[in-house]
Structure 1
Amino acid sequence: MTGEPATPLLDKVHDPRDLRKLDPSQLRQLADELRTETIAAVGQTGGHLGSGLGVVELTVAIHYVFNTPEDRLVWDVGHQAYPHKILTGRRERIRTLRQGGGLSGFTKRSESEYDPFGAAHSSTSISAALGFAVANKLTGQPGRGIAVIGDGAMSAGMAYEAMNNAREAGSRLIVILNDNDMSIARPVGGLSAYLAKLVSSQPFLNIREFAKRLSRRLPEPLHRAAKKTDEFARGMAMGGTLFEELGFYYVGPIDGHNLDQLVPVLENVRDAAEGPCLIHVVTQKGKGYAPAEQSADKYHGVQKFDVITGEQVKSAGGPPSYTNVFAQALLAEAQTDERICAITAAMPSGTGLDKFQQTFPSRAFDVGIAEQHAVTFAAGLAAQGMRPFCAIYSTFLQRAFDQVVHDVAIQNLPVRFAIDRAGLVGADGATHAGSFDVTYLATLPNFVVMAAADEAELVHMVHTAARHDTGPIAFRYPRGNGTGVAMPAVPERLAIGKGRIVRASEKGAGKVALLSLGTRLAEALKAADALEARGLATTVADMRFAKPLDTDLIRKLMLSHEVIVTIEEGSIGGLGAHVLTMASDEGLTDHGPRIRTMRLPDVFQDQDKPEKQYDEAGLNAPQIVDTVLKALRHNSAGVSEARA
């Protein structure tokens, strides 16, 4: 194709079986072409770049040495798997990444047999690979479980829970620690590479096993001394004592970009009869592409970009992002309140807390990929009189639900939850959509749950949360930019559990009331215009709170309107369910208005452009109008039948 990079060797590799036919001397060229193709593809689609470039050689070596897909390869998170997708029969579709109907930006079981386990959340790979390994062991089937996990993902407790159980798999489990930032130990040139090859070889494993058996025959004091000497020597040389104590044979660190080191070590581990093994591989994010090497954070996830210059396509100007609005509002609150502190789980820039870190370093805490710890840590801070804001994406807060219940809600501690990426998220798809936070938080006693309709409302909600000391409080806001409303000069403290009427019908009580929670308010107002044009008086309320409900407002609207429609960007069990429950409890449904609930559908929506996702979900103005008209027709039919 015109303008596409020349990749003569990669053109011959349609799946890993073709890769294994190559001579080892050809792997360097293949890796270079694979890196070029990855850069070219992501330049056209956008997506995760630096992490994939860092594992190009590792991807080539794994598929060359191991018998995938029989050997089950699990990529932790999966955002680094673009080179893997190219090598496993998906090259022709690689320029559809993260687009509607295209390839997922993560691993996905339905895409390929080479994706045995779907991922997008961190630290699940070792548990999954262990499951594959043990299942094959129990059924007598061939095949290993291979987990590739980053050093950041190793900060999550789940990884260690899996490793603690790894003895069950024996030699069928291989964990590859991709160390690209917080290095446990640095490779030290040729000597380190030589030691890694040596200790992974079968002769060394046999000698070490013989030494173990011999030491057991020694008197106990000598046996203990021999064991300690062995551990100390390996720990000093390679930093692997922790992993050895968890039952793994540790190999490394090795240069993850040197195929002459990678391939022999992987072959030795493949052929070893020893128990589970951990290979410590040191890589560089963005390897081989200068702009990504020089700015790992900026090129972790990218927009479309010019491959030659590295310049990313700039989004059109406009309102600030909700994330930035939250960050600035929290900074303003912290300027006047020394008790305010901020917690993030490895997402300081994603949540906007990098700005807070710069201004108040002693009050900002990045706890790593450890959402459970983040929530309980915040609970401890709150119990000691601080005002903690726990800023976590909606989809990641799901991982800490027990801590939210047990450590926060039951104890009624005033932890503030700033829930970013609430609702649909476009190209990141189902794994990152914040669909369930209202449902799983509004069921909890003591909780206050708010949803911002626009960026000005978000400022008010940050201020309200900062001043709320009587229990836990959460506010949700979406990915992307605000609506362009005027920002308040001074934030307002909202009355807890009180909504607002944003459009009152000019024709009296009216027929229709639209009750919106969150940023679908703009679509509700468009729908109201369309309904008014049809002669239907329409009231629009911004409920602000999913819990506690504004029961006075809801009751008033139900007694004065024929149709009530609730609208929210969340799953079943949210505002609509709570309004229905309240109406049922008070008997308002017996002879009252028809109630319809509009929410996200009961499916996991794949990646697409946001406007298409909203159409698929049925949450745009035309669908709101259609819902109202159908309810009115049904109501009219019911009245006619009753009169007859």
Structure 2
Amino acid sequence: MAQTAEKTILDGITKPGQVAALSEAELEQLASEVRARIIDVVSRNGGHLAPSLGAVELTLALLSTFNLDNDKLIWDVGHQSYAFKLLTGRANRFDSLRTLGGLSGFPRMAESPYDHFGVGHSSTSISAALGMALARDLSGLHHHVLAIIGDGSLTAGEAFEGLNLAGHMGRRLIVVLNDNEMSISSNVGALSLFLSRTLSRRWVRQTRKEVLKFLRSIPRIGQKLALYAMRGEWSFKSFFTPGMLFEAFRFTYIGPVDGHDIPALRRHLQMAAAVEDGPVLLHVRTHKGRGYAPAEKDPTQFHGVGHFEPDTGMLIPSGGKAPSFTSVFSDTLLQLAEKDEKIIAITAAMPEGTGTSSFRERFPDRFVDVGICEQHAVTFAAGLASQGYRPALAIYSTFLQRAYDQVVHDVCLQNLPVTFCVDRAGLVGEDGATHHGVFDIAYLRHIPHIRLLAPRDEDMLRHCLRTALGGKEPCALRYPRGAGFGVPLTGEPRLLAPGVGEILRQGEKIAVIAVGNRAHPALEAASLTEKELGFSPLVFDPVWLKPLPEEQLADLARRFDRLLIVEEGVLAGGFSSAVLEFLNDNSLLRGQQIRRLGLPDSFVEHGKQVELRELAGLRAQGIAKAIRELAHRA
């Protein structure tokens, strides 16, 4: 006889305040239930598994210590926030995580009143929390504001800018450093825990102030005595604890503390909350993938993971037989680097994601992972290029946005041959609005000196990469996430003539100009409509987004009365805008019917790539529909 599933503690949690009423035993049980639920859902939906598993006890300690109806809590990036979602009234919807119309994989203010700030890119939490702390003080309120930062986010400059200003302003603020990946210090023993607890208590801090005040009051030598005392304290604390860095930012440092010991976490959080005279940093040590052996063994693989078998941790293949654009990029970069020792591969904390990990293994001296420091990565690449090297900066489109100023001033203004290998260009899928790479054409094409390439498939990617690395100017090539089209990789990578596209299918009446990976769906759409319309539309791949294939575009504008331009990027300022500008400026507009397909002036939500492209009309059927509508226009 089938047994009815026993009701769990998690089933009864509908708001975060209920967590505070649980006993220590119940909290431990709840931690197990939360982990099981996260593993189950992520195994089916994909997501950021290892960091979220590592933050379960920390989440429980936070919710049982602070009142989130008043206190503000900001997660950095949001990779660690799945337990938080489950415990803040979203458990009944958690199965919809990262699906179209379902819960986002990141905190979003529009999704829950307990998501106090929306995040997706790293290292923003301290700055946002400090802004909230100032707003609180100006409003005469007294609640706590916390920033939870970890998962490598403290490597980025914005985090240190936030620490610097927070220490300068002296506002009451709690920063929880979830140290789950980096080794800030090896001194994490019992003595460190003892010192962090003792040196941070209120009576110790008050005594410290009184002693320093007394020393300073001694005539002639008081200031020197106080300085010597402070130096002695700094040396003592830095010898036994890793807190010197944060004390230098004028933070009270507490920790390290075991991030999987809920009672200890609660005591230390209460200690942090009791500090009233400035910002405090609580250093928490956790283990990514905690409680799930496969994720503990390989936290990198399970950081952001697709479908897997929960019992074994075995990844479930996506089913596509064609190699991914990223893997073809990786192989081609290695092939080119074998022949050119000046090629240097650079990534910003994404060696596996960008496919540069194999380059790291083959050419360790010519590979640099700069961490989550996109601005630094671009200027670093510019420095290499200024000395005759050929840096290939492999970076996601959405992350390159963070280094826009460096692209303009440090690379393009100086016309340095940096190659931007812009991965995840276009719609990326389940990670949603913060990760879609839909703005790169618009934010790059107007910068002087830069050249832009958009390979339509994995074979063309090889030629684009060789061309970019072989040029004398800055060049970006954008390619999508996921599998290619199964196009044979024939011959050696060749150089492409600048500003020359390719006609993929001859035709009449309608010219379809399809950018990058939308060229193959455009070919399919032309085949779908040929019999119905009684003619075959022409399909043109511009290949170059800058410089434009001007002669070919002018020829198409003269020969065709109907043009359809298709791109997987925003229409505002995108490739189709460039085409319209060119046609207008060269008096080539003569009343033609022109239709543009792309992404509207709105942020695209999360969902599977195929679903999002379907909604945007960017798959073969949607392009065919646009062809039919254009054919029947008066």
**Equivalent in the alignment of 1:524:** 522
Give structure 1 stretches of 5+ with no counterpart: 637-644
1:180–1:453 distance in 2 versus 1, CA, 3 Å: same
Letter in 2 for 1:355: S
Measured after TM superposition, the shift of residue 143 of structure 1 is 1.8
Measured after TM superposition, the shift of residue 25 of structure 1 is 4.9
**Equivalent in the alignment of 2:448:** 445
- Once the two structures are overlaid, the 10-residue window that deviates more, 231-240 or 538-547, is 231-240
**Equivalent in the alignment of 2:595:** 596
**Equivalent in the alignment of 1:640:** none
**Equivalent in the alignment of 2:353:** 350
- Once the two structures are overlaid, the 10-residue window that deviates more, 238-247 or 347-356, is 238-247
Q: In 2, Cα distance between the equivalents of 1:454 and 1:493?
A: 16
Measured after TM superposition, the shift of residue 259 of structure 1 is 1.6
**Equivalent in the alignment of 2:462:** 459
Q: In 1, Cα distance between the equivalents of 2:94 and 2:26?
A: 23
- Once the two structures are overlaid, the 10-residue window that deviates more, 89-98 or 533-542, is 533-542
- Once the two structures are overlaid, the 10-residue window that deviates more, 305-314 or 316-325, is 305-314
Deviations 1:347-382 (A, max 9, x none): 000000000000000000000000000000000100
Letter in 2 for 1:372: Q
Pairs within 5 Å for 1:253-292: 253-292=256-295
Q: Is the 8 A contact 2:351 2:369 kept in 1?
A: yes
Q: Is the 8 A contact 1:342 1:356 kept in 2?
A: yes
**Equivalent in the alignment of 1:190:** 190
Measured after TM superposition, the shift of residue 71 of structure 1 is 1.1
Q: In 2, Cα distance between the equivalents of 1:599 and 1:48?
A: 29
**Equivalent in the alignment of 2:110:** 110
Q: In 2, Cα distance between the equivalents of 1:188 and 1:477?
A: 44
Q: In 1, Cα distance between the equivalents of 2:565 and 2:46?
A: 36
1:458–1:260 distance in 2 versus 1, CA, 3 Å: same
Letter in 2 for 1:300: H
1:208–1:67 distance in 2 versus 1, CA, 3 Å: farther
Q: In 1, Cα distance between the equivalents of 2:275 and 2:227?
A: 26
Letter in 2 for 1:118: G
**Equivalent in the alignment of 1:611:** 610
Q: Is the 8 A contact 1:187 1:282 kept in 2?
A: no
**Equivalent in the alignment of 1:574:** 574
**Equivalent in the alignment of 2:216:** 216
**Equivalent in the alignment of 1:392:** 395
Pairs within 5 Å for 1:139-154: 139-150=139-150, 152-154=152-154
- Once the two structures are overlaid, the 10-residue window that deviates more, 294-303 or 202-211, is 202-211
Measured after TM superposition, the shift of residue 66 of structure 1 is 1.1
Matched position secondary structure for 1:519: helix
Q: Is the 8 A contact 1:416 1:472 kept in 2?
A: yes
Q: Is the 8 A contact 1:321 1:479 kept in 2?
A: yes
Measured after TM superposition, the shift of residue 169 of structure 1 is 5.9
TM-score, reference length from structure 2: 0.96
Q: In 2, Cα distance between the equivalents of 1:307 and 1:160?
A: 38
Give structure 2 stretches of 5+ with no counterpart: none
**Equivalent in the alignment of 1:27:** 27
Q: In 2, Cα distance between the equivalents of 1:256 and 1:58?
A: 6
Deviations 1:43-98 (A, max 9, x none): 23221110011111110111111111421111100011000101111111111110
Pairs within 5 Å for 1:503-514: 503-505=505-507, 510-514=508-512
Deviations 1:209-256 (A, max 9, x none): 333333333422212111101111111121211211112111111111
Q: In 2, Cα distance between the equivalents of 1:303 and 1:627?
A: 33
Q: Is the 8 A contact 2:320 2:483 kept in 1?
A: no
Is 1:56 the counterpart of 2:59? The answer is: no
Q: Is the 8 A contact 1:217 1:223 kept in 2?
A: no
Q: Is the 8 A contact 1:184 1:239 kept in 2?
A: yes
- Once the two structures are overlaid, the 10-residue window that deviates more, 186-195 or 375-384, is 186-195
**Equivalent in the alignment of 1:17:** 17
Q: Is the 8 A contact 1:563 1:628 kept in 2?
A: no
Letter in 2 for 1:253: P
- Once the two structures are overlaid, the 10-residue window that deviates more, 540-549 or 304-313, is 304-313
Q: In 2, Cα distance between the equivalents of 1:625 and 1:211?
A: 80
**Equivalent in the alignment of 1:642:** none
Q: Is the 8 A contact 1:10 1:33 kept in 2?
A: yes
| 1:310 corresponds to which of 301, 310, 313 | 313
1:67–1:210 distance in 2 versus 1, CA, 3 Å: farther
Q: In 1, Cα distance between the equivalents of 2:3 and 2:139?
A: 50
Measured after TM superposition, the shift of residue 307 of structure 1 is 2.3
Measured after TM superposition, the shift of residue 454 of structure 1 is 0.3
Q: In 2, Cα distance between the equivalents of 1:625 and 1:37?
A: 42
Matched position secondary structure for 1:546: strand
Deviations 1:125-145 (A, max 9, x none): 001111111101111123222
Q: Is the 8 A contact 2:401 2:440 kept in 1?
A: yes
Identity across matched positions, percent: 45
1:340–1:96 distance in 2 versus 1, CA, 3 Å: same
Matched position secondary structure for 2:430: helix
| 1:414 corresponds to which of 393, 417, 436 | 417
Letter in 1 for 2:615: E
Measured after TM superposition, the shift of residue 481 of structure 1 is 0.3
Deviations 1:573-597 (A, max 9, x none): 12101110111011111x2522222
Q: Is the 8 A contact 2:172 2:277 kept in 1?
A: no
1:308–1:147 distance in 2 versus 1, CA, 3 Å: same
**Equivalent in the alignment of 1:202:** 202
**Equivalent in the alignment of 2:121:** 121
Deviations 1:166-196 (A, max 9, x none): 1466453110111112121235443333333
1:597–1:316 distance in 2 versus 1, CA, 3 Å: same
Measured after TM superposition, the shift of residue 40 of structure 1 is 2.4
Letter in 2 for 1:67: N
Q: In 2, Cα distance between the equivalents of 1:422 and 1:322?
A: 11
Letter in 1 for 2:538: T
Measured after TM superposition, the shift of residue 16 of structure 1 is 1.6
**Equivalent in the alignment of 2:493:** 491
Letter in 2 for 1:154: L
Q: In 2, Cα distance between the equivalents of 1:612 and 1:350?
A: 22
1:5–1:551 distance in 2 versus 1, CA, 3 Å: farther
Q: In 2, Cα distance between the equivalents of 1:550 and 1:515?
A: 11
- Once the two structures are overlaid, the 10-residue window that deviates more, 67-76 or 52-61, is 67-76
- Once the two structures are overlaid, the 10-residue window that deviates more, 222-231 or 388-397, is 222-231
Q: Is the 8 A contact 1:77 1:122 kept in 2?
A: yes
Q: In 2, Cα distance between the equivalents of 1:633 and 1:315?
A: 39
Measured after TM superposition, the shift of residue 317 of structure 1 is 4.4
Measured after TM superposition, the shift of residue 5 of structure 1 is 8.3
Matched position secondary structure for 1:349: helix
Q: In 1, Cα distance between the equivalents of 2:329 and 2:369?
A: 17
Q: Is the 8 A contact 1:167 1:275 kept in 2?
A: yes
Letter in 1 for 2:287: Q
Q: Is the 8 A contact 2:381 2:391 kept in 1?
A: yes
Q: Is the 8 A contact 1:193 1:261 kept in 2?
A: no
**Equivalent in the alignment of 1:628:** 627
Letter in 1 for 2:165: N
Measured after TM superposition, the shift of residue 310 of structure 1 is 1.9
Deviations 1:314-344 (A, max 9, x none): 2224011110000000000000000000110
TM-score, reference length from structure 1: 0.95
Matched position secondary structure for 2:352: coil
Letter in 2 for 1:26: E
Is 1:477 the counterpart of 2:479? The answer is: yes
Q: Is the 8 A contact 2:499 2:548 kept in 1?
A: yes
Q: Is the 8 A contact 1:35 1:56 kept in 2?
A: yes
Measured after TM superposition, the shift of residue 632 of structure 1 is 3.8
Q: Is the 8 A contact 2:527 2:536 kept in 1?
A: no
**Equivalent in the alignment of 1:98:** 98
Matched position secondary structure for 2:239: helix
Q: Is the 8 A contact 1:205 1:274 kept in 2?
A: no
Letter in 2 for 1:100: L
Letter in 1 for 2:526: A
Q: Is the 8 A contact 1:134 1:169 kept in 2?
A: no
| 1:367 corresponds to which of 365, 370, 374 | 370
